[in-house]
Amino acid sequence: MADKKTIAIFGAGSGLGASLATRFGREGYAVALVARRANPLDQSVAELARTGIEAAAFPADLTNLDGIPALVRSIEQRFGSIDVAIYAALPSNVGFVPAVDLDAATLRSMASVFTFAPVEVAHSVLPGQLARGDGAIVIVGGLSALVTMPGLSGVGPLMAAARNYALTLNAEVARQGIYAGTVNIGAMIDRSAGLRAATAGGKELDPSFPVVDPDDIAEEIWVLINKRDRAELILPPLPQS
């Protein structure tokens, strides 16, 4: 396995996670899939195998912060390294909260998945990447991390903290061969659990709200990691003022 790179997708769902697995697998990467439920992961591993992509499932609850270091070690033991780590755990039942209603207890209830877990994943992956002098870590979040959206707080401040961490980390480790970046998505992701939840029971999306193809996001992340010419990507791009 030493000559084959590995991507670990933390929060591997049917939308972006599946597209990332296919995009990087097509380039010869082995794929580690991490998510809460084992059955969908096993199905994804089987689907990837049918296209010639080596993959393995690692069922885990990423809000169990104490379990993340052992999770990372198990992936490294299976594949030899984690060359690319993508944190894209975006629960489909996210509840935005108006800032006037936000309190510490509400913020704390969401902090593990949106702030603490991505930091702990990066912290656990970094030693191996620093030892090799190469690697990439990308944290995927939402547009409210950097754009004021009245009525849609709670998640935004937590994602903003993870975004700040990723940008600061990149500034610290870029000269050591490590890339850290953040991707902020201001749209629903096609084929994702979030979109299915939003349209369940025949509900229709606001036509002004964009839906993006996860294959396009995966391609953008591939380019981002390989060019390393910027630490942040916003999709869809914000209009120029």
Kindly state whether residue 237 falls inside one of the protein's structural domains.
Answer: no
Please tell me the distance from the alpha carbon of residue 47 to that of residue 12, in angstroms, as a whole number: 14
Kindly state whether residue 102 falls inside one of the protein's structural domains.
Answer: yes
Encode burial over 179-213: b for 16+ CB neighbours within 10 A, e otherwise: bbbbbbbbbbbbbbbbbeebeeeeeeeeeeeeebe
* % of the chain at pLDDT higher than 70: 90
Please tell me the distance from the alpha carbon of residue 165 to that of residue 180, in angstroms, as a whole number: 9
Kindly state whether residue 112 falls inside one of the protein's structural domains.
Answer: yes
Kindly state whether residue 238 falls inside one of the protein's structural domains.
Answer: no
- pLDDT over threshold 90, residue 208: no
Please tell me the distance from the alpha carbon of residue 62 to that of residue 90, in angstroms, as a whole number: 11
Please tell me the distance from the alpha carbon of residue 233 to that of residue 182, in angstroms, as a whole number: 6
The structural domain count of the chain equals: 1
Enclosing domain of residue 115: 6-230
Kindly state whether residue 139 falls inside one of the protein's structural domains.
Answer: yes
167 C-beta neighbours (distance < 10 Å), count? 16
- Which amino acid is located at 161 in the chain? A
> Taking residues 176-201, what's their average pLDDT?
80
What per-residue confidence (pLDDT) applies to 49? 97
Kindly state whether residue 193 falls inside one of the protein's structural domains.
Answer: yes
- 1-15, 103-117, 158-172, 188-202, range with the lowest pLDDT: 188-202
pTM summary value: 0.92
Kindly state whether residue 236 falls inside one of the protein's structural domains.
Answer: no
Query: For residue 27, what is the domain's CATH number?
Result: 3.40.50.720
Kindly state whether residue 240 falls inside one of the protein's structural domains.
Answer: no
The predicted-structure confidence for 121-137, as pLDDT tens digits, reads as follows 999 999 999 999 999 99
> Taking residues 54-74, what's their average pLDDT?
97
